[in-house]
Amino acid sequence: EVQLVESGGGLVQPGTSLRLSCTASGFDFDDYAMHWVRQSPGKGLEWVSGISWNRGSEGYADSVKGRFTISRDSAKNSLYLQMNGLRAEDTAFYFCARRTLLGWFDSWGQGTLVAVSS
């Protein structure tokens, strides 16, 4: 069974940093691109960032470009999101998602909440 488990969320002050993790199991992690999608409370889904299966390419939403960095570790079957310079508008549930070669997200984690507030 495919499982994605996020961790690392919490309440932080504006301007600080946080690192999210997503541990994958039940599939060959190296075969899939992995992404982060966020959802502000009561709002819709917003794509944040993605990384290819071989770490050859990364992509970021304009809203986080230059502040967030995505990475992955095959040895640990893990996906990460380093978030720097956090802002109030970054407050959201952050979901880790597996993306198929043809473009859809076929597995999602349960999400981890990041709250940015002074």
For other proteins, the binding residues (CB under 8 A) are 35, 37, 44-47, 50, 59, 61-62, 95, 100, 102-111
Copy the structure tokens of residue 80: 């990460």
Residue with tokens 């967030």: 68
Pairing of strands 112-116, 10-12: parallel
Buried b (16+ CB within 10 A) or exposed e, 95-111: bbbbbeeeeebebebeb
Q: How far is the CB of 105 from other proteins (least distance, A)?
A: 6
Q: In terms of CB distance, is 62 or 66 closer to other proteins? A: 62
Q: How far is the CB of 102 from other proteins (least distance, A)?
A: 6
CA 14 to CA 43: how far, in whole Å? Answer: 21
Q: How far is the CB of 24 from other proteins (least distance, A)?
A: 14
Q: How far is the CB of 45 from other proteins (least distance, A)?
A: 4
Copy the structure tokens of residue 54: 């071989």
Q: In terms of CB distance, is 63 or 77 closer to other proteins? A: 63
Q: In terms of CB distance, is 58 or 77 closer to other proteins? A: 58
